[in-house]
Amino acid sequence: MKISKKDVINTAELARLEFSDEQVEKFTSQLGNILEYIEDLNELDTKKIKPTSYGLEISTPLREDEVNQTITVEEALQNAPQSEDGFFVVPKVIED
């Protein structure tokens, strides 16, 4: 599968990234090379193989659903680029 400039631009939009024309050229070529490299996996017949998510079997541990204090609102906001009255502030989403 060859990746096109259009694919790169669409993927960037999904990933919330932006590239200049020059960078789109560079990424199209580099991503194309990487995707070409990983095509060697198609040599393997995996129709009957089950997928593995983790290197070892892991079962989901269960615990009581208890309320615990982790961090305070102040601590959660201490790294906020902009905050007000206990909230993170972002540009207005809904028009007046």
Partner 1 sequence: MTLPRTIKQASELIKSKEISPVELTKSFLEKIDSNDKKLNSFITVLHDKALESAKEAESQIVKGNYKGPLHGMPIGLKDIFVMKDVRATCGSKMLENFVSPYNATVTNKLLDAGVVILGKNNMDEFAMGSSNETSYFGTVKNPWDLERVPGGSSGGSASATAANLCIASLGTDTGGSIRQPGALCGIVGMKPTYGRVSRYGMIAFASSLDQAGPITKTVEDAAIILNVISGDDPLDSTSVDMPAPDYTKSLTGDIKGLKIGIPKEYFIDGMDKEVEQATNKAISHLESLGAEIIEISLPHTSYAVSTYYIIAPCEASSNLARYDGVRYTYRSPDVKTLNDLFVKSRTEGFGDEVKRRIMIGTYALSSGYYDAYYLKAQKVRTLIRKDFDDAFEKVDVIAAATSPETAFKIGEKTGDPIKMYLSDVLTIPCNIAGIPGISVPCGFSSNGLPIGLQILGKHFDEETILKVAHAYEQQNKWFEQNPEF
Query: What residues between 53 and 82 interact with partner 1 by CB under 8 A?
Result: 53-56, 58, 60-61, 63, 70-71, 75-76, 78-82
* All residues at 6 or more sequence positions from 44 whose CB lies less than 8 Å from its CB, including other chains: none
- Per CB under 8 A, 86 contacts partner 1: no
Dist. CA 63–CA 74, nearest whole Å: 28
Runs of H (alpha helix) within 1-96: 5-14, 21-37, 73-77
CB of 87 to partner 1, least distance (A): 11
Dist. CA 95–CA 92, nearest whole Å: 7
- Per CB under 8 A, 12 contacts partner 1: yes
- Per CB under 8 A, 25 contacts partner 1: no
Q: Quick one: tokens of 27? A: 């990424």
Tell me which residues touch partner 1 (CB under 8 A): 1, 3, 7-8, 11-12, 14-19, 27, 30-31, 33-35, 37-42, 44, 46, 49-56, 58, 60-61, 63, 70-71, 75-76, 78-82, 88, 90-91, 93
